Chain A
Amino acid sequence: MSESHLQRIAITGAGIVSPLGIGWKANEASFEADRRAFKPVPVELFEVDGFVAKTAGMVDLPDEPVLKKKPAYADRGTQMLMLAVREALAQSGRMNLDGIDAMIIGTSAGAMSLGETYFENAVSDPKRQPRQLSLAEHYQPQRQINDLAAEFGWRGPIIVISNACASGANAIGWGVEMIRSGRAKRVLAGGYDALARLVFAGFDSLKALAPSGIPRPFDAARDGLALGEGAAVMILEAEDVRQSAALGEVTGYATATDLHHLTQPDPEGKAAIRTMTQATRQSGLTPADIDYINSHGTGTPFNDVAEAQAIATWAGEAVPRIAVSSTKSAMGHLLGGAGAVEAVICLMALQGQWMPASLNVREVDPAVQFDLVRSFRRARVEHALTNSFGFGGTNATLVLKRRSA
């Protein structure tokens, strides 16, 4: 398909749930205040004794059940996803999912906490236990999302993408491709993940978590990431559908695979260079046209230097003029939700004409050649790019455009 003939994709609604707050306004206010959201993981969520890190970015869910029909087995992640879906629908002027042709959702862990409970029950007692069937059933993310769809009486394709930390970005990209292929006119796409003990333990075992609990993306002495949780979705529509109601556009999407290592990025960021190049080219842009990049920026030693070098190679002479930040510095790494949440943050930046900060930086890493945004900044933002890289070598880049006047 010729890139010049690629269909423009309008964003007509978005919802965001992050450790910084539930909803667009709460998140925007937190970014304006350069707020951080890290706090000790409560024992009610899971036990952190024995782990190096003790804190994470957590979402304060409402007390009342978010899913009404089957609240007992709605895991935290699905509840966050539901809140984001409701906000996106409201923003799009919809009461429900009618007219949505497909739901494409990214997650890296799904309802992991239910799987953990299933496991703990199974190892503690070999007898048949009545609750195990429901746990096994609802551990499956497609079942969780189908329950969410049932709240609206909606029926349609549900596609669950699990490409680790790029899942949410890939889901949005998949939605874009589904519309461009003509299969759908309008899709709901995004991602989510909730904190889970197994995942926390995994990152802790890899020594990927910052011992202090404070991630410092692009700091010369950064020592790891902080985990977070959250969800975000976008309603994407074909350009001929309600273009006037668009909040912005997705103009470019590319994905590529880094074959270097299962968990470590290619030091030169070769796949990232390819996705940034393809996504900007697909948008009809050059790197110099990109005003703001929401980086993957985890705060781990390997990721940030690889991404900084990839941005420098991709941008060339334009690199000093491109503003970059990592919002993981404020809310943590939302894993399967990260790509979607960060895409919505880009949309918010385009709408509000501001840039969120990379917090916690004491001394900028020498690999950084771009304009690192270190505190909330009012600025002109016409085009924003967001990178998502995941275990397994998945790289994804989305380019968003401000709503045309």
Chain B
Amino acid sequence: MNAAGLHINGVGAVSPAGWSAPDLLRVVRAGEALPAANCTRPKAERPWECQVRTVPPAPPEKQVRHPRFRRVSAISRYAAAACLEALKDAGFDTPPPRLGILFVMMNGCVNYTGRFYQEVLDNPAQASPLIFPETVFNAPASHIAALLGADGAVSTIIGNANAVMEALDMAAVWLRGGVCDHCLVVGAEECDWLSAEALSYYHASYVASEGAGALLVSLGGNGPRLQSITGPLSYHSWRERGEALPQLVTHASILIDDRGGIAKHDAAEAAAWSGMAFQAVHSPKTLLGESMGASASLHLVLATLECREQQAAVAVSLPGSNSAAYACVVGC
């Protein structure tokens, strides 16, 4: 893939651990699962358990002050905060010119989508024209582009969380082709009762989560580099997925895997990596929950921070759930 060799010069994160990448690293290193709450339902009580771990309220300094952000949904706020942190982390107090943006999500603006569709069901003639535009998949990318003054290449990818690897690949193409000088790659998701319930259909013990992970990537710089990218290893079934995962395995000092704490769902990934020895293995989803479109980006943020602090190569396992698997190493 083209992304090999890209420098990750800045990272930012919003997660149930807090509104910064260091908050994320602190919780993952502590290894203690954050408390989960029962997900409330707007209509009728749910006769089964459905747990969520949501992002805490934004501290004042993380609240975005821009006209576009007056009524945006949570996913845009998370992504904006993560992007601003990534830029600052890379040494940019103001957004650099010729900045590309690639946004990855699975579910997108679910809160406004659910609200708008309920209005349609209740009375289509009174469904709000203010809400509908915020339901569109690329609305968050548009808001962030407006916030940062990025008027060049901006694109949104829908897919499994690990589609962030395809976004990084395109970022590399844009950077090498002179389309932009720096590129923000951000994976984000917001939680609502519908997506939380959807996740619980896969397994009752899943805890739905939310957040955003942002990476500022460039061709040069002092940040860790993306290396040893494996994938996409495409599959059409859970069996094929299991057969593909051993090909992801690679050497590194630290592993950040995708396990979520559901034994039968984790088994193939655990087996694939079981033959390798690591100084540390982090399974962020077991602590934070399943943040769907944001999770792989949060893994990469963690890998970048670990690589910087430990001066060690960090493998990231991104097996995906319904189409393809990837892995990479973030190295110094």
Contact code string A228-256 (vs B, CB < 8 Å = 1, else 0): 00000000000000000000000000011
Cross-chain contact A141 with B143 (CB below 8 angstroms) = no
Chain A residue contacts of B146, Cβ below 8 A: 259, 393
Cross-chain contact A163 with B138 (CB below 8 angstroms) = yes
How many Å from the CB of A224 to the closest CB on chain B? 13
How many Å from the CB of B248 to the closest CB on chain A? 15
Q: How many residues of B contact A (CB 8 A)?
A: 72
Q: What is the bound-complex CA distance between A170 and B138, given in angstroms?
A: 13
Cross-chain contact A257 with B150 (CB below 8 angstroms) = yes
Given the known inter-chain contacts A123-B43, A157-B232, A256-B153, please indicate yes or no for A142 contacting B158, CB distance below 8 A: yes
Cross-chain contact A118 with B198 (CB below 8 angstroms) = yes
Given the known inter-chain contacts A51-B125, A206-B132, A259-B145, please indicate yes or no for A141 contacting B234, CB distance below 8 A: no
Chain A residue contacts of B228, Cβ below 8 A: none
Chain A residue contacts of B125, Cβ below 8 A: 50-51
Residue of B nearest to A393 (CB): B142
Question: Is A377 interfacial (CB-CB < 8 Å)?
Answer: no
* B contacts with A: majority SS: mixed
Contact code string B113-141 (vs A, CB < 8 Å = 1, else 0): 11011101101110111001111111101
Question: Is B332 interfacial (CB-CB < 8 Å)?
Answer: no
Cross-chain contact B129 with A49 (CB below 8 angstroms) = no
Cross-chain contact B137 with A201 (CB below 8 angstroms) = no
Q: What is the bound-complex CA distance between A120 and B234, given in angstroms?
A: 32
Q: When the two chains form the complex, which single residue of A126, A170, A177, A390 contacts B44, counting CB atoms closer than 8 Å?
A: A126
Cross-chain contact B156 with A119 (CB below 8 angstroms) = no
Q: What is the bound-complex CA distance between A261 and B29, given in angstroms?
A: 42
Contact code string A148-177 (vs B, CB < 8 Å = 1, else 0): 011000011111111110000010001001
Q: What is the bound-complex CA distance between A116 and B163, given in angstroms?
A: 24
Q: When the two chains form the complex, which single residue of B48, B135, B142, B177 contacts A177, counting CB atoms closer than 8 Å?
A: B177
Q: What is the bound-complex CA distance between A120 and B122, given in angstroms?
A: 11
Q: When the two chains form the complex, which single residue of A120, A136, A204, A263 contacts B198, counting CB atoms closer than 8 Å?
A: A136
Contact code string A108-139 (vs B, CB < 8 Å = 1, else 0): 10100001101110110111100011001100
Within 8 A of A (CB), among B221-258: 232, 234-236
Binding site for A on B (CB under 8 A): 1-2, 41-48, 68, 106, 113-114, 116-118, 120-121, 123-125, 127-129, 132-139, 141-143, 145-146, 149-160, 163, 166, 169-170, 172-174, 176-178, 194, 197-198, 201-202, 232, 234-236, 322-324
